[in-house]
Amino acid sequence: MRAGRTWLWPALWTVATVTLGVFAETQQHVEQPERPVMLVADLVAGLVLVVAGLLARALRPGNRCWWLLMATGATWLVGSLHTSTDTDVALTGFVLGVWHFFVLSWLLLAYPTGRLPGRREQALLALVGLLCAARSLSRLLLYVPPDGTGCGCVRNRFVPVTDARWYDAVDAAFPWLLVVALLLVLACALARWRRSSRAGRRMVGPVLVTAAAVVAQVGYDYVVRRQVGVVGPGRTALFLVVVSLRAATAAAFVIGLRRQGAARSAVVDLVGGLEGPDSASPDRLAAALRRALGDPSLELVPWSAAEQSYVEPEGKRPVVPVAAPGRAVTVVEQDGAPVAALVHDETLLEDPGLVGAVVAAVRLTSDNERLRSELQHQLTAVAESRSRIVAAGDEERHRIERDLHDGAQQRLVTIALALRLADARLGSDSDPEVHDVLSQAVKDLGEAIDELRDLARGIHPAILTESGLSSALESLVDRSPVPADLDVRLATEPPTTVAATAYFAVSEAMTNVVKHAHATRVRVEVRAEGGELRVLVEDDGVGGAEPTRGSGLRGLADRVDAGGGTLQVTSPAAGGTRLDVRLPCA
Amino acid sequence: MRVVLAEDNALLRAGLVELLRHEDIDVVGEAGDVPHLLRLVDETRPDVAVLDVRMPPTHTVEGLDAARQIRATHGHAVGILVLSHHVETRYALDLLADGAHGVGYLLKDRVLGPGDLAEAIRRVAGGGSAIDPQVVELLLRRHRADSSLAALTEREREVLTLVAEGRSNRSVAAAMFVSEKTVETYTGRIFAKLGLTDTPESHRRVQAVLAWLQEQRDPSAPGGA
């Protein structure tokens, strides 16, 4: 049954049901004085259910609850035919009226989405259907009317048996079975209420209460009163209770539907189910969608931008999602590009709001996942780029150092030597002033060469690349104005960039010790342990160093960070300073 | 005095040849790279091979490798003097690892000081050693805190430095303007304070001093006297 977008079917159905109702109530015996009141009440109960159906359709056009409500009303009025004065009409009501419970059960089980959520509900509805069918058939084929026709009695023209015992057996068992089945339906609805979100409970609550009252009434009427034989309030009073309960049920459904759209509730459940890590994996998303939409056959087919095709969630092989009988395909798009396709029960399409919300949820999830993976990708790229920048910086410093040695320094030595030789060629009979000028020039050049050597060494010590970290640290410590103990334990030479970072860490720390610590002793410890290089520099100075101040330490922290390591400075006042650097060294 | 010179910078090489000629040192062969140097040493059997530490192809420490090869081939027959841009004790100690006999490690700018290079070459040629004063200074700095070194007077420390450079008693005496006898008295006292056995051969003395300086590098080792 597809819900049309027009009001044609609801209108036709309403007219048909009202006609049926009026017809049913005018066909009755009216001997008893309370009869007219009961007839009006009966008609009102049926019509309230129909009106509730119309309201439900107006509230939730895509939700099938509306026609279930109208069908409940129609079957109610069909049952009223039972007491008609016309034998055939009465037989119709007598046989078909019982289906009111089937439709009512369906409505309860399918509420609030209008679809049966799972196999359990389907099985339960089938059971109720079976009971109703048995009752109908027994009344059609096995019923033997008592002698003397009177009010409420049906003369069965098809009757093929004359033995009333068969019918009596069914008649005795049916009320018990019906009550048990209705209790199960109620239990299902209760379970659903327990599973629901707060919003869902607000929808299901009123329906659950009135449904429980209806089941209690049926139990009392069918079992306690008729089977056990307890005599309670009068027939009329009881009947008015029955009618009021139907009206209350109808109202409860409308109120529930009004409170929250089924779509919103399902999407609330969906979004709730999408929290937590790894929620965007196609498997988890599909599972959440199945749960939220009550469609266990739903499939989520992700789109692969690389393959330019939909792909299987498992094997990643390209597939083309196709609609089959009863199955529909909904494509989720983002900025005009497909994100995924949903293959689902086509009844879902009856609720465009729901489908829209689900598509939005899938899009949000995949968007979220895409952003997360993009961010991850960018972070990785940035980390790699930082490492490359550090390595490139090292290489550049090394190159400058070599250029200074092989270029400028070499040339200065050559020039100084040429001046010396020139001075020598002039001999002892030269102008002593010229000799002094040349000697001074050679001396100045010598100092320039010394300065250049220190500068080059500060930029990048050649010994680090030529003899390794251990020798370079030894050389660094040798030059320290503050006496230093060096303890280097390395099985193998660390990678170039790691070695350079360790060297610059010690160098920076030693510079700070000399400048600020007023220390009498420094301890430098470098060791490889557990896949990392640990650098410790401790002094016995005044402490109170601020790691965030000073560009040297900050630059070092950046460098360590770029290599994926950690840097920690502990410097309590008057407690010395301790620099602890850990560098990953795979 | 016959010398083979290896220096890849042609201008500087020419300058050095002229400088040495003034000092009456005969440059019998000039090389711009290690293979050429080794061939010249084999052919000319010089008293000393003077070589730059940085040479083609990588311009890092080819000179040290070449020194090891010459030592391996010619033993102590050919003295080795390495000229370097770096004040690095590691390089000097590597070079002297097999003994201080006929070996020198000098900073390149030492060629500017009058007579420094020539004196170093003569010392190395005579089986002695020549270690750059800046390198010796660094080696001694390590031992600032050692009690045995602290026990030396300033004068004694001055003598120790000159001895560690590889100078003979006569050379030390000349540098300090004292008599050789006085220098002998100093060295006797220094060696006693450091717990070393004195020996008249200067390269053995240098060896002993360097060994002592290296031995003390381990901070956990006892600090001497």
Does B145 sit within 8 Å of A466, measured CB to CB?
Answer: no
Shortest CB distance from B112 goes to which of A442, A457, A462? A442
Residues A405, B91: C-beta atoms closer than 8 Å: no
Q: Which helix (H) or strand (E) holds A535?
A: strand A532-539
Residue A198 in tokens:
């707060």
- CA B18 centroid distance within chain: 22
**Is the Cβ of B59 closer than 8 Å to some Cβ of chain A?**
yes
CATH number of A265-376: 3.30.450.40
The domain at B2-131 falls in which architecture?
3-Layer(aba) Sandwich (3.40)
Quick check: A4 pLDDT over 60?
no
Return the higher-pLDDT residue of A418 and A361.
A418
- CA nearest neighbour of A301 among A272, A273, A330: A330
Going by C-alpha positions, the residue among A414, A415, A416, A425 that lies closest to residue A443 is A416
How far apart are the C-alpha atoms of B5 and B10, rounded to whole Å? 11
Long-range contacts: A190-194, Cβ < 8 Å, 24+?
Answer: A192/A117
Q: Among positive and negative, which fits the CA dihedral A273, A283, A362, A325?
A: negative
* CB A333, CB A325: distance < 8 Å: no
Shortest distance, CA A369 to any CA of chain B (angstroms)? 51
Q: Considering chain B, tell me which residue range(s) the CATH 1.10.10.10 domain(s) occupy.
A: 142-215
Contact between chains at A402 and B59 (C-beta distance less than 8 A) = yes
Q: Which two tokens stand for residue A156?
A: 């069965």
What's chain B look like in SS3? CEEEEECCCHHHHHHHHHHHHHCCCEEEEEECCHHHHHHHHHHHCCCEEEEECCCCCCCCCHHHHHHHHHHHHHHHHCEEEEEECCCCHHHHHHHCCCCCCCEEEEEHHHHHCCCHHHHHHHHHHCCCEEECHHHHHHHHHCCCCCHHHHCCCHHHHHHHHHHHCCCCHHHHHHHHCCCHHHHHHHHHHHHHHHCCCCCCCHHHHHHHHHHHHHHCCCCCCCCCC
Domain(s) labelled CATH 3.40.50.2300 in chain B stretch across 2-131
For A40-56, how does the pLDDT look when each residue is reduced to its tens digit (9 = 90+)?
888 888 889 999 998 88
Residue A143 has pLDDT above 90, yes or no: no
pLDDT for position A2? 45
Structural tokens at position A297: 């056959």
Q: What is the mean pLDDT of each run of 10 residues along chain B (225 residues)?
A: 94 93 93 95 96 88 92 93 91 87 92 88 92 90 76 90 90 92 91 83 81 62 35
Nearest-angstrom CA–CA distance, B58 and A138: 107
CA distance A303 to chain B (A): 54
- Give residue B122's pLDDT: 94
- In this structure, which topology does domain A8-260 adopt according to CATH? Rhopdopsin 7-helix transmembrane proteins (1.20.1070)
Would you place residue A320 in the very low, low, confident or very high pLDDT band (cuts 50, 70, 90)?
confident
The shortest C-alpha distance from B12 to chain A (Å) reads: 5
Q: Is the pTM above the cut of 0.95? A: no
Which one of A401, A410, A438, A444 makes the best mutation probe of the B interface by having the most chain B beta carbons within 10 Å? Answer: A410
Burial of A455 (0-12, 13-18, 19+ CB in 10 A): middle
The pLDDT, as a whole number, for residue A313 is 75
Mean residue pLDDT across chain A: 84
For residue A50, the one-letter residue type is V
The residue length of chain A stands at 586
Three-class SS state of A528: strand
Q: Report how far residue A387's alpha carbon sits from residue A384's, in angstroms, rounded to the nearest whole number.
A: 5
Q: Which residues contact A566 (CB under 8 A, 6 or more apart)?
A: A560, A581, A582
Q: What is the pLDDT of residue B145?
A: 67
Q: Which residues of B touch A479 (CB under 8 A)?
A: 138, 141
As a whole number of angstroms, the distance between CA B103 and CA B199 comes to: 18
Backbone phi and psi for residue B31, each to the nearest 5 degrees, phi listed first: -130, 150
Partners of residue B141 in chain A, C-beta under 8 Å: 478-479
Which residues are registered as beta bridge partners of A522?
A484, A539
Q: What pLDDT does A150 receive?
A: 43
**Two tokens at A547?**
């790691």
The beta-carbon contacts of B90-95 under 8 Å, at least 24 apart in sequence, are B90/A463, B90/A467, B90/A471, B90/A474, B90/A475, B91/A463, B91/A467, B91/B53, B91/B61, B91/B64, B92/B131, B92/B132, B92/B135, B93/B210, B93/B214, B94/B64, B95/B64, B95/B67
What is the Rg, in whole angstroms, of the alpha carbon atoms belonging to chain B? Answer: 18
Prior bond of B57 cis (ω within 30°):
yes
Separation CA A174–CA B53 (nearest Å): 111
Q: What is the pLDDT of residue A364?
A: 84
Pair A557, A537: CB distance under 8 Å: no
Helix (H, G, I), strand (E, B) or coil at A474: helix
Q: Is the pLDDT of residue A93 over 80?
A: yes
**Other C-beta atoms lying within 10 Å of the C-beta of residue B187:** 23
Task: Give me the residues paired with residue A528 across strands.
Answer: A533
B85 reaches A (C-beta below 8 A): yes
Q: Contacts for A313-318 with beta carbons within 8 Å, 24 or more apart?
A: A313/A282, A313/A283, A313/A286
Residue A200 main-chain phi, psi, to 5 deg: -65, -40
Q: Which of B9, B54, B142 sits opposite A478 (nearest CB)?
A: B142
Domain extents for chain A? 8-260, 265-376, 384-459, 469-584
Task: Give me the long-range contacts of B57-64 (CB less than 8 A, separation at least 24).
Answer: B57/B33, B59/A402, B59/A406, B60/A462, B60/A465, B60/A466, B61/A466, B61/A467, B61/B91, B62/B33, B62/B34, B63/B6, B63/B34, B64/B91, B64/B94, B64/B95
What is the rounded distance in angstroms from the CA atom of residue A273 to the CA atom of residue A304?
24
Rounded distance, CA A237 to CA A19, Å? 27
- Which pLDDT belongs to residue B132? 93
Instruction: Find the closest chain B residue to A469 by CA distance.
Output: B90
Helix (H/G/I), strand (E/B), else coil: A332: strand
* CATH code of domain B142-215: 1.10.10.10
Residue-wise pLDDT for A514-538, tens only, equals 988 899 999 999 999 889 999 999 9
Q: A471 contacts in B (CB within 8 Å)?
A: 88, 90
Question: Which residue from A234, A209, A97 is spatially nearest to A152, judged by alpha carbons?
Answer: A97
Instruction: Please give the DSSP secondary-structure letter assigned to residue A405.
Output: I
- A507's tokens: 């160098």
A346-376 pLDDT, tens digit per residue, is: 666 756 677 788 888 888 888 888 888 899 9
CB under 8 Å to A542, separation ≥6 — which residues? A516, A517, A518, A519, A573, A574, A576
Report the alpha-carbon distance of residue A127 to residue A134 in Å, rounded.
Answer: 11
Burial class (CB in 10 A: 0-12, 13-18, 19+), A447: exposed
**Phi, psi for residue A542 in degrees, rounded to 5:** -80, -15
pLDDT for B219 equals 45
pLDDT tens column, A474-505: 999 989 889 889 999 999 999 999 999 999 99
Q: Is A478 on the interface with B (CB under 8 A)?
A: yes
Contact B16 A421 (CB under 8 A): no
Q: What is the Cα–Cα distance from A507 to A503, expressed in whole angstroms?
A: 6
Fold exhibited by the domain A469-584: Heat Shock Protein 90 (3.30.565)
Whether residue A169 lies within 8 A of chain B, CB to CB, comes out as: no
Of A406, A445, A462, the CB nearest to B86: A462
**Beta bridge mates, A404:** none
- The answer to whether A523 touches A484, Cβ cutoff 8 Å, is yes
CB of A244 within 8 Å of a chain B CB? The answer is no
CB contact under 8 A, A417 and B59: no
| CB of A365 closer than 8 Å to CB of A286 | no
**More reliable by pLDDT, A539 or A273:** A539
Angle between helical axes of A410-426 and A432-459 (0-180°, round to 10) = 170
Residue A376: how many other CB atoms lie within 10 Å: 10
Task: Report how many Cβ contacts below 8 Å link chain A to chain B.
Answer: 81
Task: From A14, A152, A51, A157, select the one nearest A93 (Cα to Cα).
Answer: A152
Bridge partner list, B105: B82, B131
Q: Which of B105, B112, B136 to mutate: most A Cβ within 10 Å?
A: B112
Q: Domain spanning A384-459 has what CATH number?
A: 1.10.287
Q: Is residue A325 scored above 90 in pLDDT?
A: no
CB A434 within 8 A of CB A383: no
**Inter-CA distances, A390 with A399, A459, A558, B125, Å:** 14, 14, 10, 47
Residue A385: pLDDT over 90: yes
**Beta carbons within 8 Å of A379's beta carbon, 6+ residues apart:** none
Predicted confidence at residue A111, as pLDDT, reads 84
Residues A255-308 pLDDT 10s:
887 765 555 666 666 777 666 666 667 777 888 787 777 677 788 888 888 888
Q: Could you give the CA distance from residue A155 to residue A149 in angstroms, rounded to a whole number? A: 8
